[in-house]
Structure 1
Amino acid sequence: MSRDATSSLAAQIDARLSAPGAMDAARFASFLGGQQRLGLTHGGRALCRHLRPYLIAEHDYAAVARAAERIAAALERVARRALVDAALAEELGLSADERALAALDPGEGPFLTVGRLDMLVTEGGFSFIEYNADSPAGITDQLLIEETLMALPHLAPLRRGRGVRAPAPHRALLCALREGYAAWGGREARPTIAIVDWKTAATSAEFNVLADLFSAEGHRALILDPDELELDGGRLSAGGERIDLVYRRVITQELVGRRGLDHPLVRAYRDRAAYVANSFRTKPLNKKAAFAVLSAPEFADLFSPEQRAAIAEHIPWTRRVRSGRTSWRGRDVDLLELIGAEQESFVLKPNDDYGGKGVLLGWQTPPDAWRAAVRDAEAQRAIVQERSRARTARMPTFRDGGVAEEEVYFDLCPFVFAGRMEGAMVRLSASAVSNVSAGGGVTGLLIVDDPRLKREDNRHV
């Protein structure tokens, strides 16, 4: 992405941070403690330890939004086709239970209410590498960072200044939920919303923040374990209280794996006793094999010209691992031989997992372990993706009694709400796998307006 529009502001922030008294051990401890109180945590761990938000130029943000929305629309085409095309459902690796769920018609409303694309910023552009379309977390991070990080003395002036703005994905979420509920046929002006996930979920702090937000906007908001739900007489409820809208955060495979297809949430969804978002039709989007469908030339006719252009520019070469030949960089190759011979060029991923679990980076994996993983990959329906060389950033933090810079990997993960992008989760990590559940952290996102740059300029990232 263009650095000209943001480097001057970053230098100003760092200069203020380096001024005497701007940061000390007590202030940093208070900063972390504020996150604990507000819920900017994962499994009890404060998530933001770096002292500058990620700065993005307005024209770069617009370019990411255009690409993200086109890729999300292309992935929706894949999912819709998989509902009626058994061969494509098999290609994606949908289980029998997942196909049965996807076959249930939830009624009107967006196909996907909220998704999060994982995006790497590279020296030459940006690449989308995964899609969390089942239960994306991190939507409230921006809100809480504005109340903690942006309240620090070296950043507080930005909250009053011109030329910068912060996105509001938490508000876009509520808007998408309301619009989906109305399109589905919901009649309540302020429907009762249940946020549903296991009580043991590591993201439970986020649910409290969302419940407070929904309540402030006039909704009755409940945080419920799936086992608290009841369906009786066509009415979904918990403890005798009716539920109109379910914001589903429980992961599909966990719900079905633990409780089966006869669970009250599944039956309420089937019987249209409540509006459920995300729907259970989104599972094909969450399969990493969907990126192999985007990437492989035999599926190109599924997509519009604009979508094909976005795929060519922003989706790395991806294939389902199996015996046979394929194309790579203009060559006809044996896929398994290629993966073995060009180990440092590839990433192996399980088709259906999250939090970075099971991901193998070829350039960091011992050769024996890589060969063993390649041997097992076909049976496990794994996918292989060409390496995107992610850019790193130097970000200030506080350690050993003073402000210090750290070289970190980062990714920018745009949220897409009913087809429209608003905001992004910014993840930072010492590891090339920047998942929060794998120990990574987050920072905020600020959009910088630079009038010297033409908004229509497409020289992004």
Structure 2
Amino acid sequence: MTGTASLRTGSSHPWFLDDERPAPSALRTASPSEVTALLREELAGLSVSLPGPWVPAQPFVLPRQSYDELFGIARTLLALVRRAVLALGTGWPARAEALGADPHDYPLLSGQDNTETAYCSMMARPDIVIGENGPQLLEFNVSGTFGGPNESHGLTEVWQHTHRERFFGHDPLATRVRAFEDVCASRRLPRAIAIIGSLGDLEGDDADIRFQERELEQFRRRGFTADFLEPDRLPEALGRPGNLRYPLGLRNFAPADWRERGQSLRPVHDAQRAGLLLLPPQSSGLLANKKALALVSEGRPWMTRAERRLAERHLPWTRITLPGRTRWEGQEHELLELLLVRRERFVLKKAIGMMGREVLVGRYTEPVDWRQAVESAFAAGDSIVQEYVEPATCALELTDGTSTFTAQVAPVLSPMLFGDRPGGCWARFLTDGASGSASRGVISVGGAGASENAVLTWADPTARPAAGTEEERR
């Protein structure tokens, strides 16, 4: 079936293809109406965006080599970003200042620098597109509040029920629990955790607490005492200092969101002073600062040749908006002049930002607007520029509940890491209903109305486990 909803023409990039496997659509056991109903019903209240009228009728299914490669790239580049940030100064306030950030914007820095350093990269999710030469990592989300864990878990549940093939995917919720098990083992803490958040962070139908119950159940299955606590319940629920009922806290909120809404952080800060180990620590936000990615792209003196080659291959050319000369495509350029002359080749991003906000794609921006934004960014030194990556496409079957058709879509792939373990992969892609956002070249659920999906691979019980994933399979 073809028509106006056909997103792109052409064929899938080879990275997405496994010629020895059938099309996932051939394995579907549910009708289009059943798939649509199950997606809407099972995922209600789980923050999953299915704007419609076309929704996915299948998961993204990658060859195992491609699936594993996503996590390998994410793990290596996250380690480089972490090391680049640590090298900026002694102590986390100094590192924040070195990145041009205000330490006062990180009010939950614990002051326990060794602890912050140990866990700053505990939870991470990059955004990756497939370029002409394979995966290209565009940015990192490093915190406890990034989207993807509940979404990919719920979507995977749907696909396992609607297809006869047992697709494989690392479970983000289970993997996150294992990361906390490691913390308990290394610090000799009892298995008791408070998931700290606020129902005020949710809006509309998303206020359904089912996803919170799902998260708690994952912890309880592994022997944790677990509860969801809003800030006003913290003092009473935690108990007295030095003998807390919950020695661990999962930070399921963004401090900036609470401050913007007028929500006090004092109960959380007091809980930290009483001994609560809040993870991930707020130092993780500095790893999400896009300037850190620019440092790795430019190259650090301590990087090995192998690390430089990997960064050059999988990280688009990225620089901080500071005056001076830089090397691009084998030649020296004044950075500001290069961006103005070759506008169509670059993307401008705020160093601290999320959900595709404050991102300009040069080829989709009027020259006068581009010049103004670039000059402002250089005056403030608060942004990065990144070489534009034309995303490759793959086939995905879509349905409106009655009929199906196969479209070529260009997904953003987000492999998740928890305690350095692979923890599932989330994806967003644009449909015709979001074509206005697509023209800006930005894919974001919150900012552009993108649709979501899970990224899986083929289950093959006869295959040897991929390196580093044995425990995840247990």
CA distance in 2, matches of 1:80, 1:47: 46
Matches within 5 A, 1:145-164: 145-152=155-162, 155=163, 157-159=164-166, 164=167
Query: For the structure 1 residues 31 and 214, does the alpha-carbon distance in structure 2 shift closer, same or farther, using more than 3 Å as the test?
Result: same
1:183 shift after superposition: 2.6
Paired amino acid for 1:133 = V
- Code of the residue aligned with 2:229 in structure 1: it is L
After superposition, residues 404-423 of structure 1 pair within 5 angstroms as 404-423=405-424
Give, in angstroms, the shift of residue 59 of structure 1.
2.0
Tell me the equivalent position of 2:112. Answer: 105
* CA apart distance, 1:262: 6.5
Distance in 1, Cα, partners of 2:172 & 2:307: 24
Q: Secondary structure at the match of 1:27?
A: helix
1:171-215: CA deviations, max 9, x gaps? 1100002212333442x1x21332424523357654332123223
Picking from 219, 226, 251, the partner of 2:224 is 219
Q: Tell me the residue number matched to 2:131.
A: 122
Deviation at 1:56, TM superposition (A): 1.6
Given that 1:321 and 1:381 are in contact with CA atoms closer than 8 Å, whether structure 2 keeps it comes out as: yes
Q: TM-score, normalised by structure 2?
A: 0.81
The question of whether the paired residues in 2 share the 8 Å contact of 1:65 and 1:421 is answered with yes
Whether the aligned pair in 2 keeps the contact of 1:393 and 1:409 (CA below 8 Å) is yes
- Seen in structure 2, the aligned counterparts of structure 1 residues 59 and 345 have a Cα distance that, compared at 3 Å, is same
Counterparts of 1:29 and 1:449 in 2: how far apart (Å)?
24
| Aligned match of 2:5 | none
Give, as a single letter, the amino acid of the residue that structure 2 aligns with 1:119. I
Please state whether the residue corresponding to 1:295 is helix, strand or coil.
helix
TM-score, L = length of structure 1: 0.83
Query: Do the aligned partners of 1:413 and 1:424 also contact (CA within 8 Å) in 2?
Result: yes
Note the C-alpha offset of 1:79.
2.6
Cα distance change on mapping 1:31 and 1:400 into 2, 3 Å: closer
Quickly say closer, same or farther: Cα 1:44–1:316, change in 2 above 3 A. closer
Aligned equivalent of 1:293: 295
Q: 1:178: which partner in 2? A: 181
Alignment pair present for 1:23 and 2:26:
no
Q: Distance in 1 between matches of 2:346 and 2:147?
A: 27
- Out of 134, 141, 145, the residue aligned to residue 132 of structure 1 is 141
Moved more, 47-56 or 401-410: 47-56
Aligned to 2:86: 80
Report what 2:10 is aligned to: none
1:193 touches 1:219 (CA, 8 Å); kept in 2? no
Structure 2 CA distance, aligned partners of 1:301 and 1:272? 41
Gap runs ≥5 in structure 2: 1-12, 432-437, 468-474
Q: Deviations over 1:270-304 (max 9, x none)?
A: x361121101221210111111111124xx22434
Q: Alpha-carbon deviation of 1:369?
A: 1.9
1:270-281 to structure 2, matched below 5 A, reads: 271=273, 273-281=275-283
In structure 1, C-alpha distance between the alignment counterparts of 2:126 and 2:321, rounded to whole Å: 22
Residue 207 of structure 1 pairs with residue 212 of structure 2: yes
Aligned match of 2:353: 353
Q: State how far apart, in whole Å, the 1-side matches of 2:414 and 2:284 are.
A: 18
Query: Which residue in the other structure is 2:172 paired with?
Result: 169
Deviations 1:406-432 (A, max 9, x none): 332201111112223332212222334
User: What is the total number of aligned residue pairs between the two structures?
Assistant: 434
* Deviation by residue 1:63-90 (Cα, 9 ceiling, x = unmatched): 3332221111111112322351788644
**Counterpart of 2:40?**
33
- Aligned-residue offset at 1:311: 1.2
Q: Residues 194 and 246 of structure 2 are in contact (CA less than 8 Å); yes or no, is this contact kept in structure 1?
A: yes
State the partner residue of 1:67. Answer: 73
Question: For 1:6, which of 18, 24, 29 is the aligned residue?
Answer: 18
Distance 1:115-1:236 versus aligned 2 partners, 3 A rule: farther
Secondary structure at the residue paired with 1:52? coil
Compared with structure 1, are the counterparts of its residues 260 and 381 closer, same or farther at alpha carbon in structure 2 (3 Å cutoff)?
farther
CA–CA separation in structure 1 for the residues paired with 2:35 and 2:313: 41
Deviation string 1:77-129 (CA, Å, 9 cap, x unpaired) is: 12322351788644422213146754711654533221111111112111111
**1:313: which partner in 2?**
313
Aligned counterpart in structure 2 of residue 448 of structure 1, from 458, 464, 474: 458
Query: Is contact 1:191-1:219 (8 Å) kept?
Result: yes
Aligned pairs for 1:49-64 within 5 A: 49-64=55-70
Q: Name the aligned partner's letter for residue 76 of structure 2.
A: R
Q: Distance in 1 between matches of 2:100 and 2:463?
A: 48
Residue among 239, 245, 250 paired with 2:248: 245
| Secondary structure of residue in 1 paired with 2:283 | helix
CA contact (8 A) 2:322 2:381 kept: no
Q: 2:384: which partner in 1?
A: 383
**Partner AA of 1:95 in structure 2:** D
Residues 113 and 418 of structure 1 are in contact (CA less than 8 Å); yes or no, is this contact kept in structure 2?
yes
1:376 and 1:386 map into 2 onto residues whose CA distance is 19
The structural deviation recorded for 1:257 is 5.6
How many Å apart are 1:170 and its aligned residue? 1.6
Q: Which moved more, 1:308-317 or 1:56-65?
A: 56-65
Q: Tell me, what secondary structure is at the counterpart of 1:292?
A: helix
Contact 2:15 2:134 in 1 (8 A): no
| 2:99 aligned residue | 92
CA 5–376 in structure 1, closer or farther in 2 if over 3 Å, else same: closer
Give the % identical residues: 23
**AA matched with 2:323:** S
Deviations 1:420-453 (A, max 9, x none): 3332212222334222222222222222378999
Report the Cα distance in structure 2 between the residues aligned to 1:303 and 1:396, rounded to whole angstroms.
Answer: 42
Alignment-derived partner of residue 395 in structure 2: 394
Quickly say closer, same or farther: Cα 1:330–1:107, change in 2 above 3 A.
Answer: closer
Q: Is the 8 A contact 1:348 1:385 kept in 2?
A: yes
Partner SS, residue 192 of structure 2: coil
Give the structure 1 partner of residue 442 of structure 2. 433
Relative distance call for 1:428 and 1:10 in structure 2 (3 A) is: farther
